[in-house]
Every structure is written in C-alpha cells, then in structure tokens.
Chain A
Amino acid sequence: MKIPLFPEQASTFAPDVDHLYFYLVAVSVFFTILIFASIFFLAIKYRKRAGNDGVPKAVHTGIALEIVWSVIPFGLSMVMFGWGAEIFFRESRPPQNALSIYVVAKQWMWKLEHMEGQREINELHIPVGRPIRLTMTSEDVIHSFYVPAFRTKQDVVPGRYSTTWFTPTQTGKYHLFCAEYCGTKHSGMTGWVYVLSPEDYQDWLSGGKKTGTLAERGEKLFNDLACSNCHKPDNSGRCPTLVNVFGSNVKLVGGTTAKADEAYIRESILRPDAKVVFGYQPLMPTFQGQVTEEDVLELVEYVKSLTPKPLAPAPAADNKAQASNR
C-alpha cells in the first residue's frame, strides 16, 4: 500500500518549496539522530555500575562550547530563514502579465469570476504555463484559499482584498481546500482546480452562457447605480473623472496620496469618506449594502478598463509550458 509523502508538484513554486523542505528534513534527521544516538550511547556507557555508589566528578562547560553549539544551529537556521524568505517574497509579487481572476468566498463556497465573464462555483479552470493572479475577498468570515499541489495559500478576509499567484506547470485536476476554519461546513468548502492546455482553456472560455465580460457588466452597473451622473469622463461633474485613474497616485484632502489599486476603488465605493480626493467635497454616498462583493469586482474591472493598458508582449512561458505538458 503506497502512501504518498508529497502532493503533486503542479506549480513553479512547488519544486522550490519541496527542495527547502528536503533541506529541513535532512537537518532535522541529522540532529534527531545525533541527539538520540548521543543519549543512547552516553546512557549506556555511563550507566551506574553495581556496587558503585560514588559521585561522578562535575564536568564544567566552557563558553567556547556553548557558543559553538549556538552558532552552528543559528547558521543553519539562517539558511532556512533566507531560503524561505526568498520564496515568500516571490510569492508576494505577481508578475505584471499575470492573468487576473477574482475570488469571492462565502460560507461555504468559492465563487470565481473570470475577466471574460465566466463564473464558476467551487471550480477554477486555468491555462497551464501562465501566471495566474487571484484577487480575493470574503462576504462573511475569514476563509483561506489553499491548493496543496501549488504549495500556495492565502487567507481571504472580509472587508479587504488579498492576492495570491502561481504559474501552473502541469495539466490536471488538483484539490482546492478552505484552510481557515469558517463554521459548520468548513470541511465541505472544497473544490477543484482544473489546469488545461491553452487550447482546451480557450475552448472552455468560449463555451457556456454569454454574460458579458466583468468590465462590461461593471459598466452596466455603473450606469444603473447612477455613478455616471457625477463621475463624468470629461471631469465636468461634481466628482473626479475615473478615466486613467486606476494605477495612478491620487492626491487626497489633507495632503497625503494613495495608490489607486483595486482596494482603493473598493474602499471608495463602500466607504467614500475614508479618502476624499483633493479639491473635492465629500459628497459621495456609500454603496455599502447596495452592492455585493461581486458587483464591486465588476465595478473595479470597469474602472480598470478606463485606463488603457500598454500592449503586453505574448508570454514566452507559454511555449516552454506546452513542451512540458503531460
């Protein structure tokens, strides 16, 4: 009966994490054997002999020995620290050309939204070989998006966006787990990540009901909720225009600036008083309670679409990943 010791390695991070793990296992096995063997041999060699009631002479330590066996473990652990930190740093910086997908978690399901408009529940279809960036929020309590095969995990917190990213390296079907206890059906909040070849992914995208891209749905909401009455493209309304805002540094009342990222847009919709743009009055009403988190994501995508992106070069990684497809 074969018991696997590792999940499949299905992302670029997986081999890195596993190699660090091997190093740690090796160091641990070494020190465990060292201590176990030392105790075993010392206890036997220096066991109390029959008839010997004498008191052994005290053996004194020296500061040199104490330093040596402090410094060596410290050095080994600094390797663990640095290596782990490097991986963590990379995990926190999604590349610019990553494919964006949105995740809304709620008790007890995962809702995933593709830019092109596809909606999934508890399943995520993604192409192999491309970096995928997930922007996530929760509607209720803290959840956590965990794909063991990718070795990635990120808490999904209500009231804010959190991000995680990965580049899948082999096609297949991988567990998705919620990894932060969230109530009764926490252990039922699981799903599957399907990594497809680029062709299969395109096929998948074009199937299904056409609901419009996220940005298109966002534009419709923008008009339905009357945002367009104030936020006019030519800056003639009582509120600042939203063209070219996303990604810029916005000057605020009070002199500070804020980066107009997804979190900024979301906050502006739900808590407009928090950051008022310089030169404007705090007139915007809050939309908390009138829009769901998915609505907010659509509006964010719409605002993003008002900032034209420079044409991104086709990812070279595609060719390499295709070659390694199994």
Chain B
Amino acid sequence: MWVFLITEVMFFGGMFLAYIVYRAAYPDIFALASSSLNVYIGAANTAVLLCSSFTMVLGVRAAQLGQKKALAINIVLTLLLGFVFLGVKAFEWREKFIEHHVPGPSFHFEGVAMQGPAQLFFSLYFAMTGLHALHMVIGAGIMTWLLINAIRGRYSADYMTPVDIGGLYWHFVDIIWIFLFPLFYLIDRHLK
C-alpha cells in the first residue's frame, strides 16, 4: 500500500505542479477567484475529514485489540463522516454551478478583464477536488467492504491487515485534502 500511495503522490503531484505554475503566473486573479470560495464551508469539511481520520485510527486500534464491535462502529462513523464530506462538496459544486463559475460555455467571473486565468483556476479546482472526491468514493467503497467483513467477524488481533491498509489509504486521501484546502481556499486571506 505504501508503494501504491507513492504512485498516488506522483499522480496528484502533476496537478499540483500545474497549479503552482499558473498561480505564479496569475497571482492576483487566483487570489480573487479563491475568495469566491466559501472558506467556512471548506474549513468545516476539513474538520469533518480530520475527524474521520480520527475515527479510522480508533477503528484500527480497536482491530488491534480484537474489539470487534468498536471496530465496526468506528468504520461506520468514518463512512458517515466521509459521506458528509461528499455531501458538502456536492453542495459547494452546485453553488459554483449557479454562480456560473463552472468552466465551459457559460463560465463568467466578475471583476476581471480576461476570463482565461479565472477559468483556469476553476478548472484546476474542479479537476483536483473532483479527483479527490473520486478517491473518497473509492475509499467509501473500501470502508464498506471492511465494514461487511468486520461485522462478519473476519478480523482479529492476529489478522487485521486489511483494516490497517484501508486506514492508510483513508489517511492519504485526507492528507491530499489538507493540501488542497489552503491552496484553493486560503489564498491571500488574513485573519481579521
């Protein structure tokens, strides 16, 4: 799994590189576009994901101690928090759609002469949060599979490797978000 996660770093890395290049080229427009994202919702989502990683850790611990019921409960909580994250994300995207910030023929961003760089910001936003959301969905699938097996009593203190590995994957997807959040939501923000 570690090796696989390294490949994921390289995969997301390419997009982060593109982000860095264009942010350096158009700092003001990126800042402006970033401020149109709701930082409170983004922060709340960050908290949700962090909590889900916490419940995941509790789940792994439960598996190590052979506590089957605690394991199942924690997986359920992780899954639920994951769904909350995805639901909030869907809400955010819908907002963007209404505001005409979705790249495409109906894209329009106020306050700038050239739409190009603004559209680029949002393209990167949707591409990267989309890719992240796809990984979350896959993670939800993994969690569901773990849950089914946990309920069937397949895991014990001696054999909990799948829980361990599933946890690694979940934490990784969380960490990607930890990078995405400041890069997209927090450009040029100051604590008031």
Query: Which residues of A does B touch, CB under 8 Å?
Result: 254, 271-274, 282, 284-286, 288
Complex CA distance for A273 and B25, rounded to whole angstroms: 12
Complex CA distance for A288 and B115, rounded to whole angstroms: 12
Is B114 among interface residues, defined by CB-CB distance under 8 A? yes
| Residues of B69-120 whose CB lies within 8 A of A | 112-114, 116
Residues of chain A within 8 A (CB-CB) of B112 are 273
Minimum Cβ distance to chain A for residue B23 (Å): 13
Query: Which residues of B does A touch, CB under 8 Å?
Result: 25-26, 28-29, 112-114, 116
Of residues A272, A274, A285, which shows the largest number of chain B Cβ atoms within 10 Å of its Cβ? A274
Complex CA distance for A271 and B115, rounded to whole angstroms: 10
Minimum Cβ distance to chain A for residue B80 (Å): 45
Minimum Cβ distance to chain A for residue B9 (Å): 30
Residues of chain A within 8 A (CB-CB) of B114 are 271, 273, 286, 288
Residues of chain B within 8 A (CB-CB) of A286 are 113-114
CB closest chain-A residue, reference B113: A273
Q: Pick 17 A–B contacts, CB within 8 A, sort by A.
A: A254-B28, A271-B114, A271-B116, A272-B113, A273-B28, A273-B29, A273-B112, A273-B113, A273-B114, A274-B25, A274-B26, A282-B113, A284-B113, A285-B113, A286-B113, A286-B114, A288-B114
Of residues B25, B26, B28, B112, which shows the largest number of chain A Cβ atoms within 10 Å of its Cβ? B28
CB closest chain-A residue, reference B116: A271
CB closest chain-A residue, reference B115: A286
Residues of chain B within 8 A (CB-CB) of A288 are 114
Residue pairs across A and B with CB atoms within 8 Å: the count is 17
Apart from A254-B28, A272-B113, A285-B113: 8 A-B pairs, beta carbons within 8 A: A271-B114, A271-B116, A273-B112, A273-B114, A274-B25, A274-B26, A282-B113, A286-B113
Minimum Cβ distance to chain B for residue A112 (Å): 29
CB closest chain-A residue, reference B27: A254
Q: 10 closest pairs, A vs B, by CB?
A: A273-B113, A273-B114, A286-B113, A271-B114, A286-B114, A273-B112, A285-B113, A272-B113, A282-B113, A274-B26
Complex CA distance for A246 and B28, rounded to whole angstroms: 25
Residues of chain A within 8 A (CB-CB) of B28 are 254, 273
Minimum Cβ distance to chain A for residue B140 (Å): 41
Minimum Cβ distance to chain A for residue B113 (Å): 5
CB closest chain-B residue, reference A253: B28
Residues of chain B within 8 A (CB-CB) of A254 are 28
Minimum Cβ distance to chain B for residue A10 (Å): 39
Complex CA distance for A286 and B25, rounded to whole angstroms: 17
Residues of chain A within 8 A (CB-CB) of B25 are 274
Minimum Cβ distance to chain A for residue B117 (Å): 8
Residues of chain A within 8 A (CB-CB) of B113 are 272-273, 282, 284-286
Residues of chain B within 8 A (CB-CB) of A272 are 113
Of residues A273, A284, A288, which shows the largest number of chain B Cβ atoms within 10 Å of its Cβ? A273
Complex CA distance for A141 and B26, rounded to whole angstroms: 23
Complex CA distance for A246 and B113, rounded to whole angstroms: 24
Complex CA distance for A272 and B112, rounded to whole angstroms: 11
Complex CA distance for A115 and B104, rounded to whole angstroms: 41
Complex CA distance for A68 and B29, rounded to whole angstroms: 56
CB closest chain-B residue, reference A270: B114
Complex CA distance for A273 and B116, rounded to whole angstroms: 11
Residues of chain B within 8 A (CB-CB) of A273 are 28-29, 112-114
Complex CA distance for A286 and B113, rounded to whole angstroms: 7
CB closest chain-B residue, reference A285: B113
Complex CA distance for A271 and B112, rounded to whole angstroms: 11
Complex CA distance for A285 and B114, rounded to whole angstroms: 9
Residues of chain A within 8 A (CB-CB) of B26 are 274
Minimum Cβ distance to chain A for residue B109 (Å): 12
CB closest chain-B residue, reference A284: B113
Complex CA distance for A271 and B26, rounded to whole angstroms: 11
Complex CA distance for A274 and B113, rounded to whole angstroms: 10
Residues of chain A within 8 A (CB-CB) of B29 are 273
Residues of chain B within 8 A (CB-CB) of A284 are 113
Complex CA distance for A254 and B26, rounded to whole angstroms: 13
Complex CA distance for A110 and B25, rounded to whole angstroms: 30
Minimum Cβ distance to chain A for residue B135 (Å): 33
Minimum Cβ distance to chain B for residue A283 (Å): 9
